[in-house]
Amino acid sequence: MEEIEQIVSPYDSPAAETLQKVEDLAPIDLRVRFHREEMAVLAVGWFYYFMGSLVASLAVVLIINYADLGIANVYSVFFIAGAGVILAAMYLITGFGLRRFDGWARLPSICVAVVSIVIIPVGIVASAACIYLLCKNAVKEIFTPQYQTAVVAEGEIIGHYGWLAVLGGMLTALILSAFMYLISLEQFLQQISHRLGLPWG
């Protein structure tokens, strides 16, 4: 039985390629077709790396310097810090899975985004954007076994640079911690001045 070669006309519409079934696409064609969706998933993974390192760093700073920050209730400190560490771990683990397009990572990442809504005001906007990106029908194709095979075959289209997100989260936490420390120090000095009857400001 003779093979019938498919003749591609240069006058065909560019939309004709998108009518091909996903199952019939070669690995490189599959990556090209879902390039935008792949970039969106990588962006969400990068953001999760950033938030994970930020929340973890803030939790550590809170445990170490809660007295200097003017917080007296030790139990509240460790409860908040413990919740922060758990949330940070969820961010980092799911972010790692998203950056690798692992099939298990999509649903947990959506759950993490839902939980993150409580982080006002950043969580409301960022979580809504992450949920929207991860729930798109085309994005679901990124987490299929076929796409995993294509990723292994073709490698990374763009460098992930996840360490930049982690470093950015840690530096942001350091800046926020220094800001909170200065505010609490100013309040402390203001109270001392008031008790001593000294002018302030």
- For residue 13, which phi and psi values (nearest 5 degrees)? -70, 140
Q: Is the pLDDT of residue 46 over 80?
A: yes
- Rounding to the nearest 10 degrees, give the CA dihedral for residues 104, 107, 110, 112: -60
Structure confidence at residue 11 as a pLDDT band (50, 70, 90): very low
- How would you label 162-193 residue by residue, b for 16+ Cβ within 10 Å and e otherwise? beebbeebbebbeeebeebeeebeeeeeeeee
One-letter amino acid at 69 equals L
Q: What is the pLDDT of residue 15?
A: 43
Q: Is the pLDDT of residue 178 over 60?
A: yes
Q: What is the pLDDT of residue 130?
A: 93
pLDDT over 70 percentage in the chain: 70
Q: Using an 8 Å Cβ cutoff, are 88 and 55 in contact? A: yes
Side-chain-side CA neighbours of 183 within 13 Å: the count stands at 9
Mean pLDDT of 169-187: 73
Q: What is the pLDDT of residue 87?
A: 92
Q: What is the pLDDT of residue 17?
A: 45
**At CA 7, angle to CA 5 and CA 8, rounded to 5?**
140
Q: Using an 8 Å Cβ cutoff, are 72 and 155 in contact? A: no
Alpha helices in the chain (DSSP H): 27-33, 35-65, 74-99, 106-115, 122-135, 137-140, 145-154, 162-196
Residue 191 to residue 112: CA distance in whole angstroms: 41
Mean pLDDT of 151-162: 69
